[in-house]
């Protein structure tokens, strides 16, 4: 893996909005590692920093589905912090009894808010806990672990599956989820081409997308309790390492944030890639690390 590839670390969940869309938060490098603002067609005055700051570079952030908690994954022990949220940070919840063992890279709540997952860079690469205004006892690791650094994690919209993008082949691992990991689904017949960086399910749950190192930079599969046959590559590929990936809320478009100009590529989506939309007239000015559609 080249040095330039190793430097691609931030994931597409480095910012978040709660379901009410009245606040916006970002995980970032250098203290205080997290910043949050009121949002109403523009930024309000920044909220006060949490009394207990994250202990290292912020890599991933998520509001709970109810918007009453906010979680940050970061690069030093305890690797994850969660705070009550009500127009500002409350007192940090106690750390989980069993910490993620290393640098937290991404964090996700299950759709019902009853579980919280964090991906991280050493084995078992994914840790999941019950969540109810605090961490419950960590769930047992999956019987078949991801094979390398966990870089991103996502629950399916139904909450019935959990997916991890990771650093070594097969680059993506997906498990049934029901208060614990089920038996890992078979790998896709056509694997992503290299390190998995970002992962997401379509809003309907009928497709799963992974952004990754090396061309073709984005792979999408039908999903129905297992991988279908990989969709054809887009006719116009992203121009560099795929880092962030997101479907629009309707599921009618898919976006990839990537290294190299134009730094973002967006396509119509209808059980396959349509013709790439024209680049924005004013391009981003550097490598794309995260992408999101408004609700």
Burial class (CB in 10 A: 0-12, 13-18, 19+), 90: middle
Domain boundaries 3-268, CATH class:
mainly beta
Short-list 75, 82, 55, 177, CA closest to 121: 75
What tens digit of pLDDT does each residue of 58-108 get?
Answer: 999 999 999 999 999 999 999 999 999 999 999 999 999 999 999 999 999
Using the CB atoms, write b or e for 211-248: b if 16+ within 10 Å.
Answer: bbbeeebbbbbbbeeebeebbeebeebbbbbbbbbbbb
Structure tokens given for 30: 């250098």
Start-to-end CA span in the chain (Å): 36
Q: CA–CA separation, 241 vs 258, rounded Å?
A: 5
What tens digit of pLDDT does each residue of 130-157 get?
Answer: 999 999 999 999 999 999 999 999 999 9
Instruction: Work out the pLDDT band at 1, boundaries 50, 70, 90.
Output: very low
Q: CA–CA separation, 118 vs 24, rounded Å?
A: 20
pLDDT of 5 higher than 50: no
């Amino acid at each position: 893996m080249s040095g330039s590839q190793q430097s691609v670390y931030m994931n597409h969940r480095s910012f978040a909005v709660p379901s009410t869309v009245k606040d916006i938060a970002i995980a970032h490098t250098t203290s205080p590692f997290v910043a949050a603002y009121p949002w109403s067609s523009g930024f309000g005055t920044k909220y006060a920093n949490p009394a207990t700051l994250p202990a290292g570079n912020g890599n991933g952030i998520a509001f709970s589905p109810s918007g009453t908690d906010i979680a940050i994954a970061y690069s030093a022990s305890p690797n994850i912090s969660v705070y009550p949220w009500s127009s500002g940070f409350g007192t940090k919840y106690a750390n989980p009894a069993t910490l993620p063992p290393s640098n937290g890279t991404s964090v996700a709540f299950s759709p019902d808010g009853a579980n919280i997952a964090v991906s991280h860079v050493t084995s078992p690469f994914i840790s999941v806990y019950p969540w109810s205004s605090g961490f419950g006892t960590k769930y047992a690791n999956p019987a078949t672990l991801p094979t390398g650094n966990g870089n991103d994690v996502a629950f399916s919209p139904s909450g019935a599956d959990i997916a991890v993008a990771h650093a070594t082949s097969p680059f993506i691992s997906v498990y049934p989820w029901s208060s614990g990991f089920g038996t890992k689904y078979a790998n896709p017949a056509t694997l992503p081409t290299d390190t998995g960086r970002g992962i997401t399910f379509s809003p309907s749950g009928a497709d799963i997308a992974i952004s990754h190192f090396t061309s073709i930079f984005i792979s999408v599969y039908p999903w129905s309790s297992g991988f279908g046959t990989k969709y054809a590559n887009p006719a116009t590929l992203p121009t560099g390492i795929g880092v962030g990936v997101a479907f629009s809320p309707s599921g009618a478009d898919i976006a990839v944030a990537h290294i190299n100009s134009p730094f973002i590529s967006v396509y119509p989506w209808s059980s396959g890639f349509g013709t790439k939309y024209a680049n924005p007239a004013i391009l981003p000015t550097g490598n794309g690390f995260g992408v999101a559609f408004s609700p």
